[in-house]
Amino acid sequence: MNFYKKLLQIILVGLVPTVLFSTSVDEYIDKTKCDQIIDKQVYQICYSYKYKSALSGWVKLDGNLVGKSNIKKRPRFYNEKNIPIKYRTKYKDYTGYGKNWNRGHFVVADADFDYDKKALSKAYTMANIIPQSAKVNQRTWTKVERYGRTLAQKLGYINSISIAKYDDLSNKIGNDIVIPTKLYRIYYNNETKFEKCFEYENTLEVDYKNDKLKNHEIDCLTLRIR
Protein backbone atom coordinates (compact mmCIF):
# COMPACT_ATOMS: atom_id res chain seq x y z
CA MET A 1 0.00 0.00 0.00
CA ASN A 2 2.80 2.40 0.88
CA PHE A 3 4.44 1.60 -2.46
CA TYR A 4 1.35 2.69 -4.41
CA LYS A 5 1.02 5.88 -2.36
CA LYS A 6 4.58 6.84 -3.12
CA LEU A 7 4.06 6.03 -6.79
CA LEU A 8 0.96 8.25 -6.89
CA GLN A 9 2.88 11.12 -5.28
CA ILE A 10 5.63 10.84 -7.87
CA ILE A 11 3.06 10.90 -10.70
CA LEU A 12 1.23 13.93 -9.25
CA VAL A 13 4.46 15.87 -8.77
CA GLY A 14 5.36 15.17 -12.36
CA LEU A 15 2.05 16.60 -13.52
CA VAL A 16 2.57 19.93 -11.72
CA PRO A 17 3.99 22.48 -14.22
CA THR A 18 7.32 24.07 -13.40
CA VAL A 19 6.94 27.71 -12.37
CA LEU A 20 9.39 29.78 -14.39
CA PHE A 21 10.91 33.07 -13.24
CA SER A 22 9.74 35.46 -15.93
CA THR A 23 9.64 39.24 -15.75
CA SER A 24 8.88 41.55 -18.66
CA VAL A 25 8.43 45.22 -19.48
CA ASP A 26 4.67 44.72 -19.82
CA GLU A 27 4.42 43.83 -16.13
CA TYR A 28 5.58 47.33 -15.20
CA ILE A 29 4.58 49.57 -18.09
CA ASP A 30 1.18 50.10 -19.67
CA LYS A 31 2.23 51.10 -23.16
CA THR A 32 -1.27 52.35 -24.00
CA LYS A 33 -0.50 55.35 -21.75
CA CYS A 34 2.45 56.35 -23.91
CA ASP A 35 1.54 59.19 -26.28
CA GLN A 36 4.55 58.14 -28.29
CA ILE A 37 7.12 55.36 -28.01
CA ILE A 38 10.44 56.65 -29.24
CA ASP A 39 12.63 53.87 -30.54
CA LYS A 40 16.31 54.75 -30.20
CA GLN A 41 17.26 51.23 -31.38
CA VAL A 42 19.42 50.57 -28.32
CA TYR A 43 16.61 51.58 -25.94
CA GLN A 44 12.99 52.81 -25.94
CA ILE A 45 11.25 55.80 -24.37
CA CYS A 46 7.57 56.03 -23.42
CA TYR A 47 6.91 59.76 -23.88
CA SER A 48 4.09 61.91 -22.47
CA TYR A 49 2.76 64.97 -24.31
CA LYS A 50 1.02 66.10 -21.10
CA TYR A 51 4.22 66.24 -19.05
CA LYS A 52 6.60 66.92 -21.95
CA SER A 53 8.86 64.25 -20.50
CA ALA A 54 9.32 60.51 -20.39
CA LEU A 55 6.82 58.44 -18.45
CA SER A 56 9.09 55.44 -18.60
CA GLY A 57 11.63 53.60 -20.71
CA TRP A 58 13.51 50.36 -21.00
CA VAL A 59 16.92 49.09 -22.08
CA LYS A 60 19.02 45.92 -22.01
CA LEU A 61 22.59 46.57 -20.91
CA ASP A 62 25.15 44.17 -22.34
CA GLY A 63 27.80 43.21 -19.80
CA ASN A 64 30.32 42.62 -22.58
CA LEU A 65 30.05 46.26 -23.65
CA VAL A 66 29.31 48.27 -20.52
CA GLY A 67 32.48 49.67 -18.99
CA LYS A 68 34.74 48.41 -21.77
CA SER A 69 35.64 51.92 -22.88
CA ASN A 70 35.37 55.50 -21.69
CA ILE A 71 34.65 58.14 -24.31
CA LYS A 72 35.62 61.34 -22.55
CA LYS A 73 34.17 63.78 -25.05
CA ARG A 74 30.43 63.92 -24.48
CA PRO A 75 27.95 64.74 -27.26
CA ARG A 76 25.67 67.76 -27.15
CA PHE A 77 22.07 67.42 -26.08
CA TYR A 78 19.68 67.56 -29.01
CA ASN A 79 15.94 68.02 -29.44
CA GLU A 80 14.03 64.87 -30.43
CA LYS A 81 12.65 65.68 -33.88
CA ASN A 82 10.34 62.67 -33.89
CA ILE A 83 8.17 64.40 -31.28
CA PRO A 84 5.63 67.00 -32.52
CA ILE A 85 7.17 70.40 -31.88
CA LYS A 86 4.44 71.62 -29.49
CA TYR A 87 5.16 68.69 -27.16
CA ARG A 88 8.90 68.67 -27.64
CA THR A 89 11.37 69.36 -24.83
CA LYS A 90 14.18 71.70 -25.82
CA TYR A 91 17.65 72.14 -24.40
CA LYS A 92 17.04 75.82 -23.64
CA ASP A 93 13.97 74.99 -21.53
CA TYR A 94 16.32 74.13 -18.65
CA THR A 95 18.33 77.35 -18.84
CA GLY A 96 18.30 79.17 -15.52
CA TYR A 97 17.12 76.17 -13.48
CA GLY A 98 20.46 74.37 -13.14
CA LYS A 99 21.01 75.24 -9.49
CA ASN A 100 17.92 73.26 -8.51
CA TRP A 101 16.85 71.18 -11.51
CA ASN A 102 19.34 69.46 -13.78
CA ARG A 103 19.01 67.94 -17.22
CA GLY A 104 18.86 64.45 -15.77
CA HIS A 105 19.50 61.38 -17.90
CA PHE A 106 16.57 59.11 -17.11
CA VAL A 107 16.20 55.86 -19.06
CA VAL A 108 19.91 55.56 -19.82
CA ALA A 109 22.98 57.35 -18.51
CA ASP A 110 25.84 58.43 -20.71
CA ALA A 111 28.12 55.92 -18.95
CA ASP A 112 25.80 53.09 -20.07
CA PHE A 113 26.76 53.70 -23.69
CA ASP A 114 30.24 55.20 -23.59
CA TYR A 115 31.66 52.18 -25.42
CA ASP A 116 30.48 53.54 -28.79
CA LYS A 117 30.05 57.07 -30.14
CA LYS A 118 26.80 56.38 -31.99
CA ALA A 119 25.23 54.64 -29.01
CA LEU A 120 26.42 57.40 -26.68
CA SER A 121 24.81 60.09 -28.83
CA LYS A 122 21.43 58.38 -28.44
CA ALA A 123 21.58 58.97 -24.69
CA TYR A 124 21.64 62.73 -25.29
CA THR A 125 18.23 63.13 -26.87
CA MET A 126 16.12 65.54 -24.79
CA ALA A 127 13.41 62.87 -24.76
CA ASN A 128 15.67 60.95 -22.33
CA ILE A 129 16.04 64.01 -20.09
CA ILE A 130 13.81 64.90 -17.14
CA PRO A 131 13.96 67.72 -14.57
CA GLN A 132 15.95 66.00 -11.85
CA SER A 133 16.90 67.48 -8.51
CA ALA A 134 20.54 68.54 -8.66
CA LYS A 135 21.37 66.48 -5.57
CA VAL A 136 19.47 63.44 -6.83
CA ASN A 137 21.05 63.70 -10.27
CA GLN A 138 24.60 64.22 -9.06
CA ARG A 139 24.67 62.35 -5.75
CA THR A 140 22.04 59.61 -5.35
CA TRP A 141 20.53 58.49 -8.68
CA THR A 142 24.05 57.92 -9.96
CA LYS A 143 24.39 55.05 -7.46
CA VAL A 144 21.49 53.08 -8.88
CA GLU A 145 22.77 53.73 -12.41
CA ARG A 146 26.21 52.44 -11.45
CA TYR A 147 24.62 49.41 -9.80
CA GLY A 148 22.92 48.53 -13.08
CA ARG A 149 26.21 48.54 -14.95
CA THR A 150 27.77 46.36 -12.27
CA LEU A 151 24.89 43.89 -12.57
CA ALA A 152 25.28 43.76 -16.35
CA GLN A 153 28.95 42.88 -16.00
CA LYS A 154 28.30 40.33 -13.27
CA LEU A 155 25.27 38.59 -14.81
CA GLY A 156 26.16 38.99 -18.49
CA TYR A 157 23.31 41.45 -19.09
CA ILE A 158 20.65 43.30 -17.16
CA ASN A 159 17.23 44.55 -18.21
CA SER A 160 16.53 48.02 -16.87
CA ILE A 161 13.18 49.81 -16.61
CA SER A 162 12.79 53.43 -15.52
CA ILE A 163 9.47 54.92 -14.41
CA ALA A 164 8.62 58.52 -13.47
CA LYS A 165 5.62 59.49 -11.36
CA TYR A 166 4.05 62.93 -11.74
CA ASP A 167 1.88 63.96 -8.78
CA ASP A 168 2.10 67.77 -8.95
CA LEU A 169 1.15 69.22 -12.32
CA SER A 170 1.79 72.75 -11.06
CA ASN A 171 5.46 72.09 -10.37
CA LYS A 172 7.15 72.97 -13.66
CA ILE A 173 10.18 74.45 -15.33
CA GLY A 174 10.29 76.26 -18.67
CA ASN A 175 8.01 75.34 -21.57
CA ASP A 176 5.51 73.70 -19.16
CA ILE A 177 7.76 70.72 -18.45
CA VAL A 178 6.38 68.99 -15.37
CA ILE A 179 8.83 67.91 -12.67
CA PRO A 180 8.39 64.26 -11.64
CA THR A 181 7.84 63.61 -7.94
CA LYS A 182 9.27 60.09 -7.83
CA LEU A 183 11.65 58.02 -9.91
CA TYR A 184 11.80 54.23 -10.08
CA ARG A 185 14.40 51.84 -11.44
CA ILE A 186 13.77 48.12 -11.98
CA TYR A 187 16.50 45.62 -12.77
CA TYR A 188 15.88 42.02 -13.80
CA ASN A 189 17.54 39.04 -15.43
CA ASN A 190 15.25 36.04 -15.94
CA GLU A 191 18.06 33.59 -16.57
CA THR A 192 19.59 34.19 -13.15
CA LYS A 193 16.20 34.78 -11.45
CA PHE A 194 17.25 38.27 -10.42
CA GLU A 195 14.92 41.20 -9.80
CA LYS A 196 15.27 44.35 -7.71
CA CYS A 197 13.41 47.64 -7.60
CA PHE A 198 14.31 51.07 -6.28
CA GLU A 199 12.43 54.29 -5.48
CA TYR A 200 13.76 57.86 -5.31
CA GLU A 201 12.03 61.03 -4.18
CA ASN A 202 12.82 63.74 -6.73
CA THR A 203 13.15 66.49 -4.18
CA LEU A 204 15.57 69.34 -3.59
CA GLU A 205 16.10 68.37 0.05
CA VAL A 206 18.27 65.25 -0.03
CA ASP A 207 20.56 63.95 2.71
CA TYR A 208 23.04 62.64 0.18
CA LYS A 209 25.84 62.27 2.72
CA ASN A 210 23.96 59.47 4.49
CA ASP A 211 22.36 58.08 1.36
CA LYS A 212 22.80 54.38 0.59
CA LEU A 213 21.50 52.33 -2.29
CA LYS A 214 19.80 49.82 0.02
CA ASN A 215 17.71 52.61 1.53
CA HIS A 216 15.86 52.94 -1.77
CA GLU A 217 15.07 49.28 -2.38
CA ILE A 218 11.35 48.45 -2.44
CA ASP A 219 9.13 45.43 -3.05
CA CYS A 220 8.78 45.03 -6.83
CA LEU A 221 5.18 43.83 -6.41
CA THR A 222 4.17 47.39 -5.48
CA LEU A 223 5.15 48.56 -8.98
CA ARG A 224 3.67 45.82 -11.10
CA ILE A 225 0.50 46.61 -13.02
CA ARG A 226 -0.54 42.96 -13.33
Does residue 59 fall inside a structural domain? yes
* pLDDT for the residue 124: 98
DSSP run (H or E) holding 15? helix 2-15
DSSP letter (8 states) at residue 125: B
Tell me: the pLDDT tens digits for 143-198?
A: 999 999 999 999 999 999 999 999 999 999 999 999 999 999 999 999 999 999 99
Q: HSE on the CB side for 178, CA within 13 Å?
A: 20
* pLDDT for the residue 20: 60
Distance of alpha carbon 89 from alpha carbon 48, whole angstroms: 11
pTM assigned to the model: 0.90
Does residue 170 fall inside a structural domain? yes
Does residue 5 fall inside a structural domain? no
Does residue 216 fall inside a structural domain? yes
| Closest alpha carbon to 186 in 215, 218, 211, 143 | 218
Does residue 27 fall inside a structural domain? no
Does residue 142 fall inside a structural domain? yes
Q: Residue 173: helix, strand or coil by DSSP?
A: strand
* pLDDT for the residue 3: 52
> Does 68 have pLDDT greater than 90?
no
**CATH number of the domain within which 82 lies:** 3.40.570.10
> Does 122 have pLDDT greater than 80?
yes
Instruction: Give the domain range for residue 94.
Output: 37-222
Does residue 78 fall inside a structural domain? yes
* pLDDT for the residue 70: 86
DSSP run (H or E) holding 2? helix 2-15
Does residue 77 fall inside a structural domain? yes
> Does 13 have pLDDT greater than 50?
no
> Does 19 have pLDDT greater than 90?
no
Distance of alpha carbon 121 from alpha carbon 116, whole angstroms: 9
Q: How many domains does the chain have?
A: 1
